[in-house]
């Protein structure tokens, strides 16, 4: 095929905190050295922030390094955390508030800020453009390009105007090759190109499998009398049982808004578990609902987070490129914070690539990471995830408290969790069905009315972007064994088992609802679903998520 191609010095895939920090840092280095540098960032969302979703309580460490004068430059980081609470939810109604000293140290939030990551990304994008980077939104990097020696040579953007059956529509437009000596992959958690790179360059050989959670978030405009700017609450326990790991958050942001959500670890065992419904019922707990009564829900979104931590970090560098941010899995699972580590590893990636542009060869990001505070921070919290997976939430949290507050993460052993999340489901026959009560339409809602608030849209006439390796597996295998869990783990109700009288069950994929969370790609027990990017610009249009 005859494609147009454009040449740059560096191509960056993904305009999240990692990709944008990499772009800013590269241009800073070039400007300091008096060199001209052509840096291109591609982002599949229709605009910066459209696909960005985070809590977020933000640790400004990396921002301090990237733009020491960010306050004067007007970064949208303005709401200091004022009040930081951790509640153990014991049941539907009961809870205890953990006294300050019982909160594991890394989970405390002095010096942090409540932010909208979408807003921060828009600001970072403005900075990157002002420094000279080129950002293109509405273009997904669809595949990796390799040179004759097998090194990464860039990416190709997705074709536009392809019909469902694969034929070209009148407005068909082939993707463009973006070529560069070095490419920085920053697609966030479970990037689809990152997945291919890890396989091709065997980057995971010495790492534990990556572990994941699904984060489901809503934004509410609440009754002003309930709003306390900068107030931050985390919850553990109910509605999740002791063997299902996860927790909730409630962050009071500016503008009378509250960001709240539930993160559920994807190594859950019960195939009947429905993370969306858990989140809906969690809002009914008095600790949460007291803020929401009289309020209006204005935003909804979901995204996978990685939580394997230190043991799961893969090799980061390979010929022609590096991986940064959640693409590589730098979220700190103790804090459930990945923005500062995404930014920092983006900056380190920029430094490694900038050096390689002068010297040639494979950029040294692994060495830079091992020398950085990101490695130290993740190392300290390394036993968190495996402890919860091994001991359950109650004993696990006790272990973590001792590990973090007494030994400061220096216990002389490292726990491992080597079972990938797609392999943890029990058979449906051995599992308890969970009775989720109907949403009340006031505090709790169904999935479709939720997806509506994510402003999600995809061109309807295009190939399905959720690809089944073997189309028979959902009905022939997943349904009898696990009651096809995709019906429940997808936060956008994309997957349905439809039974037409006399025709038996059929697996239906409502791809246009997809919010690009990547959970199906992770949790399908047969690893039969592959998420590939739909036509550029499709997906959610999150507003300040």
Partner 1 sequence: MKVLVTVKRVVDYNVRIQVKPDGSGVMLDGVKMSMNPFDEIALEEAIRLKEAGKATQIVAVSIGPQAVQEQLRSALALGADRAIHIPLDAAPQPVNAARALAGLAGRENPDLILMGKQAIDDDCNQTPQMLAALLGWPQATFASKIELNDKAATVAREVDAGLEFLSVDLPAVISADLRLNVPRYPKLPDIMKARRLPIETVTPEDLGVEFVPEAKLLKVAPPPKRQAGRKVASVDELVAALRERGLLS
Ligand X SMILES: Cc1cc2nc3c(=O)[nH]c(=O)nc-3n(C[C@H](O)[C@H](O)[C@H](O)COP(=O)(O)OP(=O)(O)OC[C@H]3O[C@@H](n4cnc5c(N)ncnc54)[C@H](O)[C@@H]3O)c2cc1C
Residues that bind ligand SF4 (CB under 6 A): 466, 490-492, 494, 514-520, 531
Q: Which does 519 bind (CB under 5 to 8 A by kind): ligand SF4, ligand X, partner 1, none?
A: ligand SF4
- At closest approach, how far in Å is the CB of 157 from partner 1? 6
Between 14 and 321, name the residue whose CB sits nearer to ligand X. Answer: 14
The binder of 56, among ligand X, ligand SF4, partner 1, none, by C-beta within 5 to 8 A per type, is: ligand X
Pair of tokens at residue 524: 């399908």
Q: Enter the tokens of residue 327.
A: 């693409």
Nearest alpha-carbon partner for 133 in 4, 34, 15: 15
Q: Which residue has the tokens 């004993």?
A: 395
Task: List residues binding partner 1 (CB under 8 A).
Answer: 4, 6, 46-47, 49-50, 116, 118-119, 122, 134, 136, 139, 157, 160-161, 169-171, 173, 176, 178, 221, 255-256, 298, 441, 452-453, 455-457, 541, 543-544
3-state helix/strand/coil string of 210-244? CCEEEEEEEEEECCHHHCCCCEEEEEEECCCCCCC
Partner whose binding site includes residue 455, from ligand X, partner 1, ligand SF4, none (CB under 5 to 8 Å by kind): partner 1
Cβ–Cβ under 8 Å, residues 433 and 426: no
Distance CA 379, CA 32 (A): 33
In the block, residue with structure tokens 């059929």? 506
Least distance CB 17 / ligand X (angstroms): 4
Q: Residue 331's binding partner, choosing from ligand SF4, partner 1, ligand X, none, with beta-carbon cut-off 5 to 8 A by kind? A: ligand X
CB contact set of 403 (below 8 Å; sequence gap of 6+): 383, 384, 387, 409, 411
Least Cβ distance, residue 534 to ligand X (angstroms)? 11
Residue 83 CB, nearest distance to ligand SF4 (Å)? 33
492 binds, among ligand X, partner 1, ligand SF4, none (CB under 5 to 8 A by kind): ligand SF4
Residue closer to ligand X (CB basis): 194 or 485: 194
- Between 53 and 92, how does the x/- string for binding to ligand X read (CB under 6 A)? xxxxxx----------------------------------
Q: Answer for the pair 465, 518: CB distance below 8 angstroms, yes or no.
A: no
**CA 92: distance to chain centroid?**
28
In the list ligand SF4, partner 1, ligand X, none, the entry touching 124 (Cβ below 5 to 8 angstroms by class) is none
Residues 183 to 202 in contact with ligand X, rule: CB under 6 A: 186-189, 191, 193
* Residue 259 · residue 251 · CB < 8 Å: yes
Q: In angstroms, rounded to a whole number, what is the distance separating the alpha carbons of residues 486 and 381? A: 31
Q: Which is nearer to ligand X, 53 or 357 (CB)?
A: 53
DSSP states of 275-300: HHHHHHHHTTSHHHHHHHTT-EEEEE
Least distance to ligand X, CB of residue 306, Å: 8
**Chain centroid to CA 391:** 25
- In angstroms, the CA 142 to CA 533 distance is 6
- Picked from ligand SF4, ligand X, partner 1, none, the partner binding residue 466 (CB below 5 to 8 A depending on kind) is ligand SF4
Closest CB 494 distance from ligand SF4, rounded Å: 4
Residues in contact with 407: Cβ distance below 8 Å, sequence separation at least 6, in sequence order? none
Q: Which is nearer to ligand SF4, 249 or 276 (CB)?
A: 276
Q: Per CB under 6 A, does 491 bind ligand X?
A: no
Which is nearest to 56 in space by CA: 87, 28, 16? 16
42 binds ligand X (CB under 6 A): yes
Range list of β-strands (E), 32-103: 39-43, 57-58, 79-80, 83-89, 95-97
Nearest approach in angstroms of CB 424 to ligand SF4 is 17
201/254 Cα distance (integer angstroms): 44
Indicate the residue among 281 and 518 with the shorter CB distance to ligand SF4: 518
The helix/strand/coil state of 164 is coil
Which of partner 1, ligand X, ligand SF4, none binds 504 (CB below 5-8 Å, type-dependent)?
A: none
283 belongs to the binding site for ligand X (CB under 6 A): no
End-to-end CA distance of the chain: 39
User: Which residues lie near ligand X (CB under 6 A)?
Assistant: 13-19, 42-45, 51-58, 117, 140-141, 186-189, 191, 193, 215, 217, 261, 303, 305, 325-327, 331, 336-340, 342, 533
């Amino acid at each position: 095929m005859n494609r147009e191609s454009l040449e740059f010095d560096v191509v960056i895939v993904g305009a999240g905190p990692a990709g944008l920090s990499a772009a800013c840092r590269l241009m800073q280095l070039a400007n300091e050295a008096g060199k001209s540098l052509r840096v291109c960032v591609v982002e599949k969302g229709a605009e910066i922030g459209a696909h960005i979703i985070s809590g977020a309580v933000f640790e400004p460490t990396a921002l301090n390094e990237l733009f020491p004068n960010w306050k004067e430059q007007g970064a949208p980081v303005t709401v200091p955390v004022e009040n930081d609470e951790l509640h153990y939810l014991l049941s539907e109604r009961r809870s205890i508030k953990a006294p300050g000293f019982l909160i594991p140290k890394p989970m405390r939030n002095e010096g942090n800020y409540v932010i909208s990551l979408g807003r921060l990304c828009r600001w970072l994008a403005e900075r990157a453009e002002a420094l000279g980077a080129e950002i293109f939104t509405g273009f997904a990097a669809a595949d990796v390009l390799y040179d004759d020696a097998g090194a990464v040579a860039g990416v190709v953007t997705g074709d536009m105007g392809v019909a469902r059956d694969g034929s070209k529509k009148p407005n068909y437009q082939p993707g463009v090759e973006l070529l560069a000596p070095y490419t920085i992959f920053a697609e966030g958690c479970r990037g689809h190109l990152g997945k291919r790179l890890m396989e091709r360059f065997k980057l995971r050989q010495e790492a534990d499998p990556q572990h994941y959670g699904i984060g489901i978030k809503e934004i509410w405009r609440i009754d002003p009398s309930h709003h306390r700017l900068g107030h931050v609450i985390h919850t553990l326990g109910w509605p999740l049982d002791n063997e299902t790991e996860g927790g909730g958050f409630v962050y009071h942001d500016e503008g009378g808004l509250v960001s709240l959500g539930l993160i559920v670890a994807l190594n859950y065992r019960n195939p009947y578990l429905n993370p969306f419904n858990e989140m809906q019922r969690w809002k009914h707990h008095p600790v949460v609902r007291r803020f929401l009564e009289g309020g209006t829900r204005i935003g909804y979104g979901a995204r996978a987070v990685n939580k394997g931590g230190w043991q799961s970090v893969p090799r980061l560098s390979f010929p022609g490129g590096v991986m940064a941010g959640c693409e590589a899995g730098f979220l700190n699972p103790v804090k459930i914070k990945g923005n500062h580590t995404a930014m920092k590893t983006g900056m380190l990636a920029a430094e490694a690539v900038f050096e390689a542009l002068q010297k040639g060869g494979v950029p040294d990001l692994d060495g830079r990471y091992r020398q950085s505070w990101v490695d130290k921070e993740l190392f300290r919290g390394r036993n968190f995830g495996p402890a919860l997976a091994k001991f359950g939430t109650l004993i696990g949290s006790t272990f973590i408290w001792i590990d973090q507050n007494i030994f400061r993460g220096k216990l002389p052993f490292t726990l491992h969790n080597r079972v990938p999340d797609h392999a943890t489901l029990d058979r449906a026959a051995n599992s308890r069905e969970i009775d989720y009560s109907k949403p009340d339409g006031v505090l709790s809602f169904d999935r479709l009315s939720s997806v509506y608030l994510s402003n999600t849209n995809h061109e309807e006439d295009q190939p399905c972007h959720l690809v089944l390796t073997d189309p028979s597996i959902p009905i022939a295998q997943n349904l009898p064994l696990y009651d096809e869990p995709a019906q429940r783990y997808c936060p956008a109700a994309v997957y349905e088992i439809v039974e037409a009288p006399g025709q038996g069950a059929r697996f239906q994929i409502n791809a246009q609802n997809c919010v690009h969370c990547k959970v199906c790609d992770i949790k399908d027990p047969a690893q039969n679903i592959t998420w590939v990017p739909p036509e550029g610009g499709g997906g959610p249009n999150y507003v300040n998520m």
